[in-house]
Structure formats: C-alpha cells, structure tokens
Chain A
Amino acid sequence: NAGVTQTPKFQVLKTGQSMTLQCAQDMNHEYMSWYRQDPGMGLRLIHYSVGAGITDQGEVPNGYNVSRSTTEDFPLRLLSAAPSQTSVYFCASSRSLQGINYGYTFGSGTRLTVV
C-alpha cells in the first residue's frame, strides 16, 4: 500500500540548475496535483492533471513544468531554479469524482532549498 510516493525527500540546488521532482501513485487515481507550502501561506496549487495527457496551471505555475504521460506518474520540473522556489513540495492524488468524497492522498513532501 504505497499510496503516493515522492522523491527525493530533500534536495539542495544551486541557482540556475534544473531538476525533476518525482511523484508516483499506485491507486489508479485520475487526478494528480502539485502544491508548494511556504511559511504562513498554506498550500498553493502549482499544476494539476485530470488524467493522462491532460495538465493545467494552478495558482503559481511560473518556473515549473509538468507532463502526465501515464496515470501513475506526474513529475514536476524546475526549469532554472531560483531562491524563491525554496519550499516544501507536495504531490496529491484523488479519484475523479461526481460530488463524492474520495478525498486526496498526499505524498510525504520534498523539501527543496535553492542557494
């Protein structure tokens, strides 16, 4: 019962470097999303996907790229890391719903520091 798996758990990047945060789920959930959590600001939606091949922007998409080639995986790419992207990143997944609470399953988070 792996649920949502995020890797890595910790990462330090230099400004300008690129990297990919991995997110995988084994629950056959259609909906996947990425959030960043900064102190005092709650979780903010970066990008989300309602199914394989379909992605869309959330509240704070700039500087990030996503793709969804399979139902299981939803990687988040930082194109050119900036100190402002220092944050904790969460991936979450959910079944597609019709007004029913299937809830969201969150990964354990990735703590990213950009120096």
Chain B
Amino acid sequence: AQKITQTQPGMFVQEKEAVTLDCTYDTSDQSYGLFWYKQPSSGEMIFLIYQGSYDEQNATEGRYSLNFQKARKSANLVISASQLGDSAMYFCAMRDNQGAQKLVFGQGTRLTINP
C-alpha cells in the first residue's frame, strides 16, 4: 500500500526566504507520480507541481521546485522567495501510474509567511 508522510504540521517563515516542505513516501510500485497541492483558507485545492518516478530531472514550476530523491523516497517542495500569499496548507500526494491510479495524500503542512 502507498503511504505519504509529512512530518511538519506547521512552519513559520519570514517573507522572501526560501522554504522546504518535507514529504516522504512508501510504495512498491515502479511507476508512480508525486504531486504537491496548495490549499488556501478559501478551501480550494490548487495543483502546484508534479514529478514522475522515471523523470530524471527535478520538476520546476516558477517559484516551486520538487527535490526528488528516489533512493531516499523523498519529494520535498521548495518555494523560493516566499510571499505572504504562500500562507496555506500544503499537501503532498502520490499516485500509482498503473492500475487503479489512486491518489493518496499526506496529512499536510500549514505554512505561515510572516512579513
């Protein structure tokens, strides 16, 4: 069975600093995908970034990058130059890319950006 672990319930960061949100995963699948979602206080789920298990390069999307270390089974999200609008819940999720393709979420990290 797949499992996602986010060990940081909350983080506080000064504006303009970089922040790393931790995510480790467990799976026996060879083909899988890793996602990060942002959930602001309004409640919607916003897709940030995706990394496939066979992708050789770390994914990047603007200020977001995913530090993918396959041997350590970690997929940390890095946000560069944090902004006040980055304050939100962040969820790491994993999907098996074959079979049922279910998306499994971690417990989330609440990020607060201080001015």
User: Is residue B8 contacting chain A, with contact meaning CB distance below 8 A?
Assistant: no
Q: How many residues of B contact A (CB 8 A)?
A: 26
Q: How large is the interface on A (under 10, 10 to 19, 20 to 34, 35 or more residues)?
A: 20 to 34
Write the chain B residue with the least CB distance to A30. B101
Residue B104 interfacial (CB < 8 Å)? yes
**Nearest chain A residue, comparing its CB with the CB of B43:** A109
A74 sits at the interface (CB 8 A): no
Q: Are B91 and A108 in contact (CB under 8 A)?
A: no
**Which residues in window 13-60 of A have CB below 8 A to B?**
31, 33, 35, 40-45, 48, 50, 56, 58-59
A99 touches B100 (CB 8 A): no
| B108→A42 contact, CB < 8 A | yes
In the complex, the answer to whether A41 meets B45 with C-beta atoms within 8 Å is no
CA distance A100 to B55 in the complex (A): 10
Residues from chain A with a CB closer than 8 A to the CB of B52 are: 99-101
Contact residues of B: prevailing secondary structure: loop
* Residue pair B100, A48 in contact (C-beta under 8 Å): yes
* Cβ distance A96 to chain B, nearest Cβ, rounded Å: 7
Selected A-B contacts with CB under 8 Å, 23 pairs: A33-B102, A40-B107, A42-B6, A42-B106, A45-B102, A48-B102, A50-B100, A56-B100, A58-B102, A94-B101, A96-B101, A97-B101, A99-B31, A99-B52, A101-B33, A101-B50, A101-B52, A103-B47, A103-B50, A104-B47, A106-B44, A108-B43, A108-B44
B residues contacting A by CB (< 8 A) are 4, 6, 9, 31, 33, 35, 43-45, 47, 50, 52, 54, 91, 93, 97-98, 100-108
Closest 3 CB pairs of A and B: A106-B45, A101-B50, A42-B105
A92-B45, A108-B44, A109-B44 given; 16 more Cβ-contact pairs under 8 Å: A31-B101, A33-B103, A41-B107, A42-B6, A43-B105, A48-B102, A50-B100, A97-B101, A99-B97, A101-B33, A103-B35, A103-B50, A104-B47, A106-B44, A106-B45, A109-B43
